Amino acid sequence: VLVPGCGLARLALEVAAEGYRVEANEDSRLFLTVADHVLNRARARSHLIYPMESIWSYNFDHGQQYMNITLPLPLPGVFAARQGSLAGGPAVTIIPGDFVKLYGRGRPGHRKFGAIITSFFIDTAWNIAELVEILDDLLLPGGVWINVGVLFWRKDARLKLNWEEVLAMWSNLGYTFHGHERFPCEYSLPLGVKMFAEAYMCVRLAAVKPSHGTSG
């Protein structure tokens, strides 16, 4: 399973806990540094952090500004223990670097995967048409693309399509859609904790690549 734009790799870890070998990719040095520490070095509940302490706005009282969490929880090794060794290799591998430059055809990371999971990722593309072409090329025939997220396009995006236009790109490649739905998603904090919180109406679906035909 390939997980592009994995952030701190929590999703990749949870997929691996279900028994899959996961390759995750991330371009942010900040995320990679934190993920490396949490996954490989930290002890369970060894860090107490205050993620909102520098945000002085939208607080009802001091409780919101100084709320704290402990991490990592659970310890990443607990996930690995659930599924054991997969053919002697690591359950999760994180590949640093720009996704398009690493995984495009002829690039060092290009090969076939049985599934690709994009979570709040496709709208980070400078060229969504190029990204769809790469994702399709990486999937095996009969493979599954699972997507969840929104379309909050980067400012310099070459194409800023709506969701129906994005779906049309995949449909034209012969993909069939399953479990397509819209649902509300609180992005960083539950609504009501502070006077302001971000929330999106996300889309979620699984798309299956045809075993034969025009795709790939």
pLDDT at 214 over 70: no
Choose among 1, 5, 2: nearest CA to 119.
5
Give the chain's mean pLDDT: 90
pLDDT band at 56 (very low <50, low <70, confident <90, very high): very high
- Candidate ranges 5-14, 66-75, 109-118; pick with highest mean pLDDT: 109-118
Please state, in angstroms and rounded to a whole number, the distance separating the CA atoms of residues 154 and 1: 26
pLDDT for the residue 79: 62
What pLDDT, on a 0 to 100 scale, did the predictor assign at position 146? Answer: 98
Q: Which residue has the higher pLDDT, 200 or 212?
A: 200
How does pLDDT run across 25-45, given as a tens digit for each residue?
999 999 999 888 888 887 777
**Hunting for tokens 């055809």 — which residue is that?**
105
Q: What is the percent of the chain with per-residue pLDDT over 90, rounded to a whole number?
A: 72
Q: Give dist(CA 189, CA 144) in Å, integer.
A: 30
Q: What is the mean pLDDT of residues 170-194?
A: 93
| Contact of 214 with 174, CB cutoff 8 Å | yes
Taking only the tens place, the pLDDT of each residue in 121-152 is: 999 999 999 999 999 999 999 999 999 999 99
Tell me whether the omega of the peptide bond preceding residue 51 falls within 30 degrees of 0, making it cis: no
pLDDT attached to residue 158: 95
